[in-house]
Amino acid sequence: MNRLRSSTSADSALVAAVETENAAIFAYGVVAAFSNPARVDEVATYTAAHRARRDALVETAARTGVSVPPAAAAYSIPFAVVDAVTAAQLAAQIESDTAVTYRAFVEQVDDDDLRAFGVEGLTDAATRGAKWRAALGNSPATTAFPGDPNM
């Protein structure tokens, strides 16, 4: 028997993760438009990583009978992006938001494979976020508890 989840909170966590990944993909489009040209490959790689995670989550949802909404046409950006610095700030924010979502995901799912997927998502977001914060000159570039919404 393949028991992926036993609670609706796990289903909600799966939906939230898909929505967060969709928002990240959209926001990285904004980052790409304003980012330093030297970062084009990095931005493309990070966008592809979010797209791959979203696709894996959508496949899991379909396999387990969880309905996820399609991506929105646009998502709200938390501040104006007007240059390479604000683009990097947005990228750091994207990864912080993604880490928060995956931390909650890990707490809410009860399947070992999904939990491992969530830990990988949290780790990847924390790593990318640290790279963006380091590029911005933030110190420290890392946080003690990635994904903690209170930090």
pLDDT by residue for the chain (151 residues), tens only, comes to 233 444 588 999 999 999 999 999 999 999 999 999 999 999 999 999 999 999 999 999 999 999 999 999 999 999 999 999 999 999 999 999 999 999 999 999 989 999 999 999 999 999 999 999 999 999 988 888 888 777 6
Q: How many CB atoms sit inside 10 A of residue 2's CB?
A: 7
Question: Which token pair is 91?
Answer: 């990228």
Q: Which two structure tokens, joined as six digits, stand for 99? A: 């880490």
Question: How many whole angstroms separate alpha carbon 105 and alpha carbon 12?
Answer: 9
Single pTM value for the model: 0.91
